[in-house]
Every structure is written in structure tokens, then in C-alpha cells.
Structure 1
Amino acid sequence: MIHLRGHHLLCLVGYRGMGYSEEYVENMTRIHRQLRARPTTLVRLVKGIDHLCEKYPNSGEYHCLSEEIFNQDAYIAEKLGIQIGQLVPWFEVERRLKKYIQPTDIATICENCSWRSYGVCEEGMERIHKGISLFDV
């Protein structure tokens, strides 16, 4: 089981092997590959620190605890109809993403994300809408 917060559901869809540090990238790549290879993997939606935040580098601002990120997490969870603490298989997360979030929504939902300018999350959502799972990383 993998613990994820709301906005990381979108981050994983667009993930291409970039990150904040080597340790962060290794961790996110491991989680991403597991979800891609085993879409039945259970995901528990959490409020706050998840399995990705745990490897966020200890330098600069720790955005994982910012009010803006908590609000973004809550918005995404509500939009997908997933409650905090709820367990869902990754394939169900992808199904809900396809149903409730359009690739063009990324510009608004992730407006202040430093990774948005790369366009990878929109591309990831386009894949989800075409019935294609996560990128091969």
C-alpha cells in the first residue's frame, strides 16, 4: 500500500524522472514503477506527509506543509470523490482522473507548481484520457 496526498496523484501521472534531489527521484521512480507495473496496488489517500513527501530534501522551503498545498490536496480529493483514509487501487485513481479531470484543468489546479511549465502533467493526463497508463520511467 502506498500513502499519497491529493496533488501527488497528478504528479505521478506526469512524472518523467525529474525531482528535487537524487533521493527524491529514486523514491518517486520506485513508487511510479510499482503503480505502472501493478495497477492493483492500493493507494491510501492521506492528509499531509505521504510516501513522496518523506524524501523531500531538507533544503529551502518545505512546501509539503503549506496551506496552499493542503487546499490543493483537498480540492483534488473532492473532485475525485476519494475520502482521506480511503483505500483505492491505482487503476481506480486513473479511472477517476479520466472521468473528473481534463488535461486543461492542470493549468488551474496546479497554477503555482514549479513543474507545470514542463507540460508533463498535461501530457500525462492526455495519456490517461486515451486509456494509456503512466509513462515508462
Structure 2
Amino acid sequence: MYKLRGHHLLCLLGYRGMGYSAEYIENMTRLHHTLRLNPDTIIHLIDGPDHLCEKYPNSGKYHCQDNDIYKRDALILEKLHLKVGKKMQWKEIENSIRKHIFPSDLVNVCETCSWRSYGVCEEGIKQIQQGKGLREVK
């Protein structure tokens, strides 16, 4: 079981092997690979720093505790019709994304995210909408 916060549910869709540090990338790649190959994996939705935040580099401001990140988490969970504390399979999260999130939503729900400019999250949402699951990351 993995603990994830709201916005990381969408970050995983756009993940392409880039990140904040080698340790962060290794952690994110491992989780992404697990979910892609085993969509029955249980996710516990939490409020605050999660499994991915554990490997965020300790250099400067720790953005995982930033109020804007908490707001983004809440907004995304609301949009997905999910609640903090819920435990569910990754494939159920994908189903919720398929029903409730569209690429155009990222303008609002991920407004301040620096990764949004790459356009990979929109591609990831489209892939989920097409029933393809997470894209392979090598």
C-alpha cells in the first residue's frame, strides 16, 4: 500500500522520468512502474506529505508543506470525488480520473505547477481516458 496526496494522483499520469533529484526520480519511477504493472495496488489517500514527498530533496524550501500544495490536493480530490482517508486500488483512481478529469482542467487544478508547461500531464490524462493506463517510463 502506498500513501498519496491529491495532486500526486495527477503527477503520476504525466511522469516521464524527470524530477527534483536522482533519489526522487528513482522513488517516483519505482512507484509509477508498480502502479502501471499492478493496478490493483492499494492507495491510501492522505492529507500532507506522502510516499513521494519522502524523497523530495532537502535543499531550500520544502514545498510539500506549502499551503498552495494543500489547496491543490484538496481541489484535485474534490474534482475526482474522492476523500482523504479512503483506501482504494489504483485502477479505481484511474476510473475516477477517466470520469471526472479532462486535459483542460489542468489550467485550473494545476495552475501554479512548474511541470505543467511540458504538456505531459495532458497526454497522461488522454491516455487514461483511452483506457491505456500509465505510460511506460524507462
Do both proteins adopt the same fold according to a TM-score greater than 0.5, normalized to the shorter chain? Answer: yes
2:69 is paired with a residue of what secondary structure? helix
Report the TM-score, using the length of structure 1 for normalisation: 0.98
Alpha-carbon offset, residue 75 of structure 1 = 1.1
**How far apart in 2 are the matches of 1:74 and 1:85?**
12
Alpha-carbon offset, residue 11 of structure 1 = 0.1
Task: Encode CA deviations 1:23-70: one digit per residue, 9 max, x unaligned.
Answer: 000000000000000000000000001000000000122111011110
Which AA in structure 2 matches 1:75? Answer: L
Give the count of matched residue pairs: 137
**How far apart in 2 are the matches of 1:26 and 1:5?**
19
**Which residue number in structure 1 is paired with residue 95 of structure 2?**
95
Report the TM-score, using the length of structure 2 for normalisation: 0.97
Identity %: 58
Which AA in structure 2 matches 1:92? Answer: E
Structure 2: which 5+ residue stretches go unaligned? none
**How far apart in 1 are the matches of 2:127 and 2:79?**
19
How is 1:109-124 mapped onto 2 (pairs within 5 angstroms)? 109-124=109-124
Alpha-carbon offset, residue 82 of structure 1 = 1.6
**Which residue number in structure 2 is paired with residue 13 of structure 1?**
13
> Runs in 1 of length 4+ with deviation above 4 angstroms?
none
**How far apart in 2 are the matches of 1:81 and 1:124?**
19
**Which residue number in structure 2 is paired with residue 76 of structure 1?**
76
Structure 1: which 5+ residue stretches go unaligned? none
**How far apart in 2 are the matches of 1:74 and 1:111?**
14
**Which residue number in structure 2 is paired with residue 27 of structure 1?**
27
1:43 is paired with a residue of what secondary structure? strand
